[in-house]
Structure 1
Amino acid sequence: MSFANKSHSSIDMNPILNGRRMRRNRSSDWSRRLIRENTFTINDLIWPIFLIDGENKSDPVTSMPGVERFSVDRAVRAAEQAAELGIPVIALFPNTDPDLRDEMGSEALNEDNLTCRALRAIKAEGFPVGLMTDVALDPYTSHGHDGLMVGDKIVNDETVDQLCRQSLIQADAGSDIIAPSDMMDGRIGAIRNALDNNSYDDLQIMAYSAKYASAFYGPFRDAVGSNANLKGDKRTYQMDPGNTDEALKEAELDLEEGADMIMVKPGMPYLDILHRIKETFLAPTYAYQVSGEYAMICAAAQNGWMDKEKAMMESMMAFKRAGADGVLTYFAPEIAKKLNGK
């Protein structure tokens, strides 16, 4: 439509805008890149992978399209892929054989369990990739909880004692980052003391500081096999989704007890929590884009309701904008390939 031949007088926008035209900086790709306030790089990625027993074996997680559980030898190849793509860290989560799960989560203390075997096998290859290990009992307990149970109660101090021993076993096997995800009181200080007293004073701790009792964990529990046998819920130790001030107190306590890095989980539904924690403590702060977030994007893309790649990358920018120093995401290989131009 042309406006050149209109007989009526046009509105003079100059006095209204007074020279302020925000769109000038958006007018070209180079200009948009030049003024961009936040960026996301491969260095911001942590790739969570799932482990299973067996050899040369991979098993699709049906509720997480594109995600597979790997036998140890294939986990080694995944670590090699991470190194080639430039992903700094992979996080290991075991799907323990149901026959090895008991009320006490005894397999967590087995020096030859899935996680420890994977740690040793990957370390033996010398890849320039950090290895992060989950410290919690839910992959090992027959009741599916992150802690020990007495009757219907999750007991705190007895659980912390077991988590300290689990941390030392993982440290012995080669873990670079111990990541307690259990939400027991005092566990960061106890684990820090246990590590320091056993000559692991350089080993890092990433605390799941604000881990909410969320509906977004379902596909993850499928992936590690803890969903079917979960007795009750986790609301007595994971946080209430309605609370924000409590998250700051949890983060403060974890940092005081010796955490090197802190995490908010889930990610996108809790960007306000992420922002408040980062702004308050200025500590290395991470978001976990959890299985439910991943599955929703994939499902919507499969139905043609959104562009997967665009949604994936936009979600990463949202985390960075909110203050995340990095993100745990199952999209990590796809994102790294895109950023590498592959």
Structure 2
Amino acid sequence: MKNALIVGIDYYSKVSSLHGCVNDAFEVDSMLKRNDGGAINFNTKRVTASNSGDAISKKQLKDLITKLFAQKSEIALLYFAGHGHIEKTGGYLIASDAGDGDDGMPLSEIMTLANSSPAINKIIILDSCFSGIAGASMENTEISHLAEGMTILTASGEDQYASEENGRGVFTTLMVDALSGSAANLVGQITPGSIYAHIDQSLGEWDKQRPVFKTNVKNFVCLRQVTPPISIDELRSIIEYFPTPGFEFQLDPTFEPELKGRDAGMAEPVEANTQVFRVLQKFNRLNLLIPLFAPHMWNAAMESKACKLTALGEHYRRLVEKELI
């Protein structure tokens, strides 16, 4: 069982209200609830505050977070979009009824709940200002205390604001893009690490906010499954064509199905070879292999050149060889 608590707070009674957090919560809920294709993924509970009628109090926020991390599950995921606050006593997530920053839910308390949770994997994702302090020791913020299975992904560092653009959080917009498939590997898995990499690469070095990623895990968990760009059977066939590291697969004109462009007397296509060539071309489009001494795969076939795996291709060849795919 995978459980996710998704909180988005726009309405604040005593401090300035926000505009994109509720939208962000709905988007994240939609992404996590089901995998690509409609299969059930997370059991989600979405709680949002748009106005005084659905305001979220500190007590309500604390009770929800406590319940999330008290349950035995494969994954317990907390997503929060709203105001954050930091001072000498630490960081806080701000509920609708907060008057001062330290009226909020202390991040240290959230970390205590998460670190002691019976859930196998605990994931905290925060789109709030100063959220990078989550998990840090108050004695030395350069040190983080994370139990095994704990992962933290935040929109900004401990001294940075989290920005909104066009009614959406910049961080969450990129995260939703990652969950949509932009951060998937070749078997269609999206992990916390791949989401961070996508966000990190999308924000320039000079941006005012930088994501923070902290983890203590032996293996990354899959947060969402999408349709892979190549079938698993085709990916597994990589070892048939490239049985050893550095192997060069020899091509010739019989692999190219197109008749146009052939010189007189050139061998015609062979169906078995053209079927193999279609798979090799997919590998090429996914940066798994490159033609040798030819600009394109068509040229490599027509000129009887070879092709070989890239570093990424060798990585997936090893995974198949070890029966990890």
TM-score by length of 2: 0.32
Report which of the two has the higher share of helix.
1
Q: Which has the larger radius of gyration?
A: 2
Larger RCO of the pair (alpha carbons < 8 Å, separation 6+): 1
Kindly indicate which of the two structures has a greater share of residues assigned to strand: 2
